[in-house]
Amino acid sequence: PTEQVLAGKTVTITAGPTREALDPVRFITNHSSGKMGFSLAEAAKALGASVNLIAGPVSLNTPTGITRIDVESAEQMQQAALEYAVQSDIFIGCAAVADYRAATVAEQKIKKQGDEITLTLVKNPDIIATVAALKQSRPYTVGFAAETQNVAEYAQGKLVNKGLDMICANDVSDSTGGFNSDNNTLTLYWKKDRLELPHSSKKELALTVMQAIAEKIK
Ligand code: C5P
C-alpha cells in the first residue's frame, strides 16, 4: 500500500481550461484536457489527503472520494480557488486559465457584420498569484509552467514573480507530452533546488509530484 504521506492534509487543485463567454452562444477557450490536474487529485487522495478539485469544462470522470467544484470562467475559478485555498495546506494551480476575457459579454448573439470585427479583451486575474499573496491561511503554493523555449529561465521567473513555493515545468515544444497527451516530462523547481523527472505517464508523474510536495512541507 502507498504510504499515507498526506494524511490529515487538505489539497486544492485547479484543472482544465477556462471558458470566457463572448455572447450567449460563443466563447474563448484553449486545448487543456485537465488530465494532469485530475491525475494530481487522484494521487493526492491515494496519499491520504482530503482533495478539492476546481475544474473548468473538461470531459473527465471525477476520481472517487474527492470534492469536485465545476466552474467555467477565470473569475468563477478565482472565487472558488480563494474560498478553498484558505482551508488548504497545499494549493496547486494546474489550470490553463485564459489570460484575457471579453471586456463586455454581449447579452444577445453578436450579429454577422462587415469583413472585420474587433473584440476588446481585458486581462483575467492571476489566480495562483492571488493565492500565493495571501497574508493569512496561505497554503504551500505550487504552479505549472508550459514553455516552448528557455524552460528553466521562464519557469524560475514565474516561481519568483508569482510568489510560488514550487513550479512544475514542461517543455510543450516536445510533441511527446503536454496538452491532451497522457504522458509528460516535468522538471520541478524550488528557489534553491531542482529535480528533473523522467518522461512518464501523467498518473506516475502526479504521484511523484505529490510525494515531492509532501517531503517539502514535512
Ligand atoms: O503565466 P502562466 O499562465 O504561464 O502561469 C502558469 C501558472 O499560473 C499555472 O500554475 C496556472 O494555473 C497559473 N495561472 C493562474 N491564473 C492565471 C494564469 C495562470 O492561476 N490567470
ipTM of the complex: 0.99
How much distance in Å is there from the Cα of 126 to the middle of ligand 1?
A: 6
Domain containing residue 111: 10-217
Q: Is residue 1 part of a domain?
A: no
Strands (E) located in 25-172 = 26-28, 50-55, 67-70, 90-93, 100-102, 121-123, 140-147, 166-171
**Cα 196 to the center of its chain, rounded Å:** 20
Residue 106 has pLDDT above 80, yes or no: yes
* 191 found inside a domain: yes
- Segment 201-216, tens digit of pLDDT: 999 999 999 999 999 9
The reply to whether 4 falls in a domain is no
Q: Is residue 5 part of a domain?
A: no
Q: How many domains does the chain have?
A: 1
Quick one: which atom of ligand 1 is closest to the CA of 147?
4
pLDDT at 78 > cutoff 70: yes
Quick one: average pLDDT of 1-16? 95
pLDDT of 1 above 90: no
Distance 146 CA to ligand 1 centre (A): 9
128 known member of a binding site: yes
Q: Answer yes or no: is the C-beta of 35 below 6 A from any ligand 1 atom.
A: no
For the CA of 128, the closest atom of ligand 1 is 20
Is 81 among the annotated ligand-binding positions? no
- When pLDDT is cut at 50, 70 and 90, the band that residue 177 belongs to is low
Average per-residue pLDDT in the chain? Answer: 95
Q: Is 65 within the bounds of a domain?
A: yes
Give the residue numbers marked as catalytic. Answer: 30
- Asked whether 55 and 39 are in contact (CB, 8 A), the reply is no
pLDDT tens digits, one per residue of 129-166: 999 999 999 999 999 999 999 999 999 999 999 999 99
Please report whether residue 166 resides in a domain: yes
Q: Are 140 and 217 in contact (CB under 8 A)?
A: yes
In a domain, residue 157? The reply is: yes
160-161-166-168 Cα dihedral, nearest 10 degrees: -120
For residues 88-93, average pLDDT: 98
158 C-beta closer than 6 A to ligand 1:
yes
Span 47-65, average pLDDT? 98
The CATH number of residue 136's host domain is 3.40.50.10300
Q: What mean pLDDT comes out for the span 42-53?
A: 98
Q: For a pLDDT cut of 70, what percent of the chain falls above it?
A: 98
Instruction: Give the pLDDT of residue 111.
Output: 95
Query: What residues pair up with 65 in beta bridges, in sequence order?
Result: none
Q: What pLDDT shows up at residue 181?
A: 80
